[in-house]
Amino acid sequence: MSITRFPKGFLWGASTSAYQIEGALHVDGRGKSVWDTFAEAGRICDNTTAEIACDHWHRWPEDIALMRAAGFNAYRFSIAWPRILPDGAGRIEPRGLDFYDRLVDGLLEAGIRPMACLFHWDLPQPLEDAGGWMERTIAEPFAEYARICGARLGDRVRDWVMLNEPNVVACLGYACDAHAPGRNLGFEAMLRAMHHMNLAQADAMRALRAQDSGYTLGTVSNISPVRPETNSLADIAAAARWDAVWNGVLLEGLYNGKIPEPLRDIMAPFVLSGDEERIHVPPDLLGINYYSATTTKHQEGGWVDTGGGDGKCQRFTGMGWPVQPDGLREILNQLRLRYGNPPVYIAENGAAYDDLPDPSGRVDDTDRVAFLREHVVEVGKAINDGCDVRGYLAWSLLDNFEWGFGLSKRFGIVRVDYETGRRTPKASYDFMAQAARANAVEDGAGG
């Protein structure tokens, strides 16, 4: 059995998001978010809400203790925009900032590097009422929100993430209605929302950089290799088009200050003079969320010729997503070759399975252990290829409110009993703890 070792200082840990774990939606002056509205409209498949979720708002010391016991040295969490600015802009709610003050101090005391994400999908409803990400005017309140958070927490939080998965928000929340805000406006709306998120994150990074030149600034997106279903020219062309959308809008903007060439005409109505220069803010550290590769096939009658899933794949997660660890190494090498080997870290990687606890509440989640192990090994291979990968954070620390699926899907390495709030580490938690302590993983199967 071989061992994959990682560089000194490599980050090991987990990620979460505020809306999915905090609960306490009506506590300490928090404003309403688009996800509250979405849930109130009956759009959550199991009819649950995030009112309690994991009750992290009250149980955060316990969650930090779990990370400390695992030997984690990094934690990516999100700040809830509606807790800081209940109206999206203007009036500041100090009790929201007080909570993240306590959380950050607790993380540092435990020897854990806090990596704060400013937007993980919970857009304040008043901003959505004004047009949300469909309007370029949203960039100004987002930059101001970034300044407010930096001014309060920046003496201790040195790593700032602007957005989480802007492509997913734009696709599922604006192009269609699977996620909040559920606008269902079509493909061009997706591109418009993504462009405005590019503007907002660039303005926020500049605002934070002006505040403190020592910050590590970045953003996080769901990046995946796009593969044609067959070797036909039509399928290859379809893959190139979707790659320009899913990966290119964000990455070309950040690293090259360009709109991807295949999209220039369709994006021209909302890309103004000077925008390409404005969105050109190469991050200090780019977060990659990876779950699977994307397989495309040509479909007549539409610009976006994407197909679903991968018929050649033999394994799928509880979400129905194909298990394709090799795609993680592939996309890391694409980043290396296309963008000059930028520093990156895996900000999310994990899988939902139908976890079944034993009588003690323990979960022997061998499928998740195998998933994590295989992907971590692929990260090691990418590092050996020359990729500048600096960390691996599992998604997620806790079972949580999985957006439109509610509490029905479990991604956590720690099981949460939603009736009692009890946390029980799973076998996957033990795997991550072993990896963090050893800064290495064994390549073989098993826990």
Over 70: is that where the pLDDT of 309 sits?
A: no
Count of the separate structural domains present in the chain = 1
> pLDDT tens across 337-358, in order?
999 999 999 999 999 999 999 9
CATH of the domain at 229: 3.20.20.80
> pLDDT tens across 21-53, in order?
999 999 999 999 999 999 999 999 999 999 999
**From 128, 144, 165, 402, active-site residue:** 165
Q: Is residue 133 part of a domain?
A: yes
301 pLDDT tier (thresholds 50, 70, 90):
confident
Instruction: Reply yes or no on whether 165 is catalytic.
Output: yes
Return the structure tokens found at 182: 């559920």
Phi-psi region of 184 (alpha: psi -120 to 50; beta: other; left: phi over 0): left
> pLDDT tens across 50-60, in order?
999 999 999 99
Cis before 269 (ω within 30): no
Per-residue pLDDT averaged across 242-254, rounded? 97
Q: Is residue 88 part of a domain?
A: yes
Query: Higher pLDDT residue, 391 or 360?
Result: 391
Q: What is the pTM of this model?
A: 0.97
CA distance 354 to 149: 37
pLDDT at 297: 86
Q: Is residue 56 part of a domain?
A: yes
pLDDT at 132: 98
Q: Is residue 394 part of a domain?
A: yes
pLDDT at 1: 78
Over 90: is that where the pLDDT of 367 sits?
A: yes
384 pLDDT tier (thresholds 50, 70, 90):
very high
Q: What is the mean pLDDT of the chain?
A: 96
> pLDDT tens across 124-173, in order?
999 999 999 999 999 999 999 999 999 999 999 999 999 999 999 999 99
Asked if residue 102 lies in contact with residue 60, where contact means CB atoms within 8 angstroms, the answer is yes
Per-residue pLDDT averaged across 368-394, rounded? 98
360 pLDDT tier (thresholds 50, 70, 90):
confident
Residue 110: exposure state from Cβ atoms within 10 A (0-12, 13-18, ≥19): middle
CA distance 24 to 15: 20
Percent of the chain's residues with pLDDT above 90: 92
Lowest mean pLDDT among 197-201, 299-303, 429-433: 299-303
Indicate the SS3 state at residue 103: helix
CA distance 234 to 236: 5
CA distance 58 to 340: 43
Q: Please give the residue range of the domain that contains residue 155.
A: 3-442
Q: Is residue 447 part of a domain?
A: no
Asked if residue 380 lies in contact with residue 4, where contact means CB atoms within 8 angstroms, the answer is yes
CA distance 74 to 85: 26
**From 128, 348, 374, 378, active-site residue:** 348
204 pLDDT tier (thresholds 50, 70, 90):
very high
CA distance 385 to 379: 10
pLDDT at 307: 57
CA distance 410 to 405: 10
305 pLDDT tier (thresholds 50, 70, 90):
low
Rg from Cα positions in the chain? 21
Asked if residue 268 lies in contact with residue 186, where contact means CB atoms within 8 angstroms, the answer is no
Q: Is residue 70 part of a domain?
A: yes
Among residues 290, 198, 291, which one has the least CA distance to residue 252?
A: 198
Among residues 404, 421, 411, which one has the least CA distance to residue 48?
A: 404
Per-residue pLDDT averaged across 83-112, rounded? 98
299 pLDDT tier (thresholds 50, 70, 90):
confident
Contacts of 295 by beta carbon, 8 Å cutoff, 6+ apart: 226, 227, 228, 229, 307, 308, 309, 310, 311
Write b or e for each residue in 49-78: b if 16 or more Cβ atoms lie within 10 A of its Cβ, otherwise e: bbebbbbbbebbeebbebbbebbbbbbbbb
Q: Is residue 200 part of a domain?
A: yes
Question: Which range among 71-80, 309-318, 359-368 has the greatest average pLDDT?
Answer: 71-80
